[in-house]
């Protein structure tokens, strides 16, 4: 283009004398000046050394731009120059002579040069037409080189009616994004490296090269989730070829919900694929095994355990573990072994012959996944939840794109207009709107709306930035400050939920807090006298007799006995736990109170427990050994009570001896 400052050229250039101008110095060159492009600049306004780029037009009406100085040095029309270079010189071989096959594809009407005159190494772009009628432009030198010289349509570089994505890969063309692309699947070839937008059946939008999409076929977002689920689908795909009534994703509720990857009811066999990522916690697997034992006692479960899954002992003897590697070859081999195992272990099963080729069947397996997910989608299974699917915040994601057991979070909107996020599986399990249930706070469920009489008691100063419109009636964790309506000087703290549930007022005014009339020291001085003043941070004057607060006490019999107990338990006459042998001390342990029995304490079979760690009333089962080395087990209390037990073997021998002695005396 002509310089943008062309209009101001008079202000930046000193207009040359006419005898120094281009028009005077080189009138032949000046005749090629493009008057339209250069207006208002003329040939008389510049000299032959002018460095500005201006427009030119040759006698053949070729238009181009060039610097005046370069043109004055002899640079001519570039297009005419190409034509001169392209024109064959006398004695040079013609295109027809050297490349007769290429010459046959010379376009008969669109070239302004004869095929007889064109040079073999010409860089001029010319028109060509192949035997199939495809037309394109390229240089002669490109045609005569070994690489890239053929028809770009026939070789797949350009899209054609018979070679485009829609014609060759109609299934992939279905995922062509209908609005984000400026062209259509008819306009690109399957091997094009140009990137386009794609929209899968689950609403995922991706930006991939056409060639990469053709090779991978699947949506990359779907593939991320498929890494763990694809192997179980492979197993089901080939099992279903043999057992037509095999079921996928059978759900049980006992007592919590779980599902089986593959169930073959005809032979009472279930198959699970345990990926290492989702089966790092064996507790869930153990619960499933136990539930199957309780609900399907005779069902055999084969677990394909991926490398990396921890080992565990199943509570169900019908569970069999097969170790598999994270590779499709290992999966293929194990499926073959599965069929051999079925033949050998289940009666009435003939020889099973299945051609397992995962690469070949990959597209069909993925189609099976899509078909199954649509059949088991939320749209089909729970239409009542579809009504609450948020109309705008899920983008292109629809209830038909997701299964009822999915743990994916989506947006919902209830009849009251509340919006929130929750997993599909939690909604299917029964969870509802968190605002309507007061778990979340909205503009219509905070306590200023639902309980204005309680909100009126909200302390305006002591709660700081916390205001009643930030909390619902179900809030159970925030302890707010309140002001008494009877006396504005009264302020106290209480949970929001307890205020709404009990409708209680100021605790002193309502009698819930201790006063100088109803505190423990006044109502129960006999209990308060054992208050441990050293360890407690409060006094008996600050609590009531029914308080559930745990405080420290000191025994009236032995001041060394110190313990914690709830105040209400003490007023119900609970005493010192040491004196009543509920807690072991240096004074009441078995070694001190019953040293003869403690001598029979087994030194090895009781682990780390010693006679100094139990009282005479303990109900722990302990191992004992008598002087005759007889060993037996019984509770401590059985030995220490009145008429307590001794060594059972010695006792039997003593009874027998006494009986024999009595018989001898009678004789």
Which residues pair with residue 495 across a beta bridge? 479
Chain centroid to CA 405: 14
Q: Report pLDDT for 303.
A: 94
Q: How many CB atoms lie within 10 A of CB 172?
A: 20
Query: Mean per-residue pLDDT for 632-656?
Result: 87
Chain centroid to CA 221: 11
DSSP label at 599?
T
- The mean-pLDDT minimum among 43-57, 341-355, 412-426, 576-590 falls in 576-590
- The mean-pLDDT minimum among 169-183, 207-221, 350-364 falls in 207-221
Q: Report pLDDT for 12.
A: 38
Which residues pair with residue 262 across a beta bridge? 248, 271
Please tell me the distance from the alpha carbon of residue 90 to that of residue 103, in angstroms, as a whole number: 19
Q: Could you give the strand order of the β-sheet that contains 257-264, starting from the edge strand earlier in sequence?
A: 247-253, 257-264, 269-274, 300-306, 319-324
pLDDT reading at 98 higher than 90: no
Taking the model in full, what pTM does it have? 0.40
Q: Report pLDDT for 85.
A: 61
- HSE of 407, CA atoms in CB hemisphere, 13 A: 2
Please tell me the distance from the alpha carbon of residue 648 to that of residue 652, in angstroms, as a whole number: 6
Tell me if 279 sits within 8 A of 306, measured CB to CB: yes
CA dihedral of residues 290, 294, 298, 303 (deg, nearest 10): -20
Helix-, strand-, coil-residue percentages of the chain, each rounded to 5 = 35, 20, 45
Q: Report pLDDT for 68.
A: 92
Residue 340 has φ and ψ, to the nearest 5°, of -65, -40
DSSP label at 381?
H
Chain centroid to CA 142: 52
Query: Mean per-residue pLDDT for 177-181?
Result: 92
Query: Mean per-residue pLDDT for 499-524?
Result: 69
Residue 92 has φ and ψ, to the nearest 5°, of -75, 145
More confident residue, 247 or 11: 247
Tell me if 564 sits within 8 A of 553, measured CB to CB: yes
pLDDT in tens, 346-393: 888 889 999 999 989 988 888 888 778 777 788 888 889 989 999 888
Please tell me the distance from the alpha carbon of residue 69 to that of residue 44, in angstroms, as a whole number: 14
Strands 319-324 and 63-67, bridge-based pairing = unpaired
- HSE of 427, CA atoms in CB hemisphere, 13 A: 29
Q: Report pLDDT for 317.
A: 92
- Comparing CA positions, the residue from 476, 411, 416, 474 lying closest to residue 444 is 416
> Read out DSSP for 126-161?
EEEE-TT--EEEEEHHHHHSSSS-S-TTTTTSS-BT
Query: Mean per-residue pLDDT for 274-281?
Result: 81
Which residues pair with residue 300 across a beta bridge? 269
pLDDT reading at 148 higher than 60: no
Strands, DSSP E only, in 355-489?
Answer: 409-413, 419-423, 479-483
End-to-end CA gap in the chain = 146
Q: Report pLDDT for 454.
A: 82
Q: Report pLDDT for 223.
A: 67
> Read out DSSP for 256-324?
SEEEEEEEEGGGTEEEEEE-TTTTS-HHHHHHHHHHHHHH-TT-EEEEEEETTPPP---S-TTEEEEEE
- The mean-pLDDT minimum among 62-66, 175-179, 290-294, 480-484 falls in 480-484
Tell me if 233 sits within 8 A of 369, measured CB to CB: yes
pLDDT in tens, 555-602: 877 777 888 888 888 766 667 877 777 778 777 888 888 999 999 999
- HSE of 600, CA atoms in CB hemisphere, 13 A: 22
- The mean-pLDDT minimum among 214-218, 277-281, 498-502 falls in 498-502
Please tell me the distance from the alpha carbon of residue 398 to that of residue 651, in angstroms, as a whole number: 80
Tell me if 21 sits within 8 A of 44, measured CB to CB: yes
Q: How confident is the model at residue 331 (pLDDT cuts 50, 70, 90)?
A: very high
Q: Report pLDDT for 441.
A: 77
H or E, element range at 527: helix 525-528
Q: How many CB atoms lie within 10 A of CB 566?
A: 14
**CA angle 451-453-459, nearest 5°?**
105
- The mean-pLDDT minimum among 374-378, 616-620, 662-666 falls in 662-666
In whole numbers, what is the pLDDT of the chain averaged over residues? 83
Q: How confident is the model at residue 301 (pLDDT cuts 50, 70, 90)?
A: very high
Q: How confident is the model at residue 11 (pLDDT cuts 50, 70, 90)?
A: very low
Q: Report pLDDT for 256.
A: 60
pLDDT reading at 656 higher than 80: no
Please tell me the distance from the alpha carbon of residue 57 to that of residue 60, in angstroms, as a whole number: 8
How far CA 406 is from CA of 249, 289, 412, 419, 423, in Å, comes to 12, 22, 15, 20, 7
pLDDT reading at 447 higher than 50: yes
Please tell me the distance from the alpha carbon of residue 145 to that of residue 120, in angstroms, as a whole number: 10
**What percent of the chain has pLDDT above 70?**
88
Query: Mean per-residue pLDDT for 490-502?
Result: 77
Question: Radius of gyration of the chain from Cα atoms?
Answer: 47
- The mean-pLDDT minimum among 140-149, 240-249, 408-417, 426-435 falls in 140-149
């Amino acid at each position: 283009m002509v310089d943008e400052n062309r209009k101001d050229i008079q202000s930046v250039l000193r207009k040359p004398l006419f005898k120094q101008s281009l028009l005077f110095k080189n009138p032949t060159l000046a005749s090629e000046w493009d008057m339209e492009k250069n207006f208002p600049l003329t040939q008389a306004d510049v000299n032959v050394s002018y460095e500005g780029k201006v427009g030119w037009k040759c006698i053949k009406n070729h238009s181009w731009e060039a610097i005046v100085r370069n043109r004055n040095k002899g640079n001519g029309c570039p297009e005419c120059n190409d034509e001169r270079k392209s024109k064959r010189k006398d004695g040079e071989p013609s295109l027809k002579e050297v490349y007769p096959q290429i010459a046959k594809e010379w376009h008969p009407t669109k070239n302004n040069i004869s095929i007889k005159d064109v040079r073999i190494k010409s860089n001029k772009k010319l028109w060509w037409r192949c035997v199939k009628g495809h037309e394109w432009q390229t240089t002669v030198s490109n045609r005569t080189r070994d690489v890239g010289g053929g028809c770009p349509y026939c070789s797949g570089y350009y899209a054609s009616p018979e070679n485009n994505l829609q014609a060759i890969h109609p299934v992939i063309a279905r995922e062509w994004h209908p609005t984000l692309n400026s062209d259509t699947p008819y306009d690109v070839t399957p091997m094009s490296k140009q990137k386009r937008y794609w929209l899968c059946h689950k609403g995922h939008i991706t930006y991939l090269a056409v060639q990469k999409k053709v090779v991978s076929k699947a949506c990359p977002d779907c593939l991320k989730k498929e890494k763990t689920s694809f192997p179980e689908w492979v197993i089901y795909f080939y099992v279903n070829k043999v057992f037509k009534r095999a079921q996928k994703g059978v759900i049980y509720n006992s007592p919590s919900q779980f599902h089986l990857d593959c169930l073959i009811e005809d032979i009472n066999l279930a198959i699970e694929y345990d990926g290492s990522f989702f089966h790092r916690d064996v507790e869930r697997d153990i619960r499933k095994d136990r539930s199957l034992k309780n609900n399907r006692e005779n069902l055999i479960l084969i677990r394909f355990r991926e490398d990396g899954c921890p080992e565990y002992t199943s509570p169900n003897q019908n569970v069999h573990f097969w170790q598999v590697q994270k590779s499709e070859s290992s999966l293929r081999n194990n499926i073959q072994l599965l069929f051999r195992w079925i033949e050998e272990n289940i009666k009435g099963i003939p020889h099973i012959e299945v051609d397992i080729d995962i690469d070949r069947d990959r597209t069909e397996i993925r189609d099976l996944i899509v078909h199954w997910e649509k059949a088991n989608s939320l749209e089909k299974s729970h239409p009542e939840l579809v009504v609450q699917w948020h109309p705008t915040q899920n983008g292109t994601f629809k209830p038909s794109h997701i299964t009822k057991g999915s743990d994916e979070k989506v947006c919902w909107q209830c009849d009251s207009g509340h919006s929130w996020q929750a997993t599909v599986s939690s909604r299917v399990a029964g969870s509802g709107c968190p605002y309507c249930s007061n778990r979340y706070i909205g503009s219509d469920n905070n306590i200023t709306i639902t309980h204005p009489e309680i909100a009126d008691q909200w302390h305006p100063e002591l709660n700081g930035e916390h205001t009643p419109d930030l909390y619902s009636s179900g809030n159970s964790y925030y302890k707010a400050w309140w002001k008494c309506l009877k006396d504005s000087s009264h302020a106290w703290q209480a949970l929001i939920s307890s205020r709404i549930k009990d409708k209680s007022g100021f605790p002193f005014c309502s009698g819930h807090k201790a006063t100088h009339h109803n505190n423990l020291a006044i109502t129960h001085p006999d209990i308060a006298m054992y208050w441990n003043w050293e360890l407690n941070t409060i006094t008996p004057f600050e609590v009531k007799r029914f308080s559930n607060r745990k405080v420290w006490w000191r025994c009236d019999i032995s001041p060394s006995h110190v313990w914690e107990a709830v105040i209400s338990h003490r007023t119900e006459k609970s005493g010192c736990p040491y004196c009543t042998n509920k807690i072991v001390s240096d004074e009441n342990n078995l070694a001190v109170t019953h040293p003869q029995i403690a001598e029979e304490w087994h030194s090895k079979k009781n682990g780390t427990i010693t006679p100094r760690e139990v009282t005479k009333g303990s109900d722990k089962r302990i191992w004992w050994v008598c002087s005759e080395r007889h060993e037996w087990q019984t509770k401590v209390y059985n030995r220490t009570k009145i008429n307590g037990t001794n060594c059972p073997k010695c006792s039997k021998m003593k009874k027998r001896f006494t009986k024999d002695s009595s018989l001898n005396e009678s004789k």
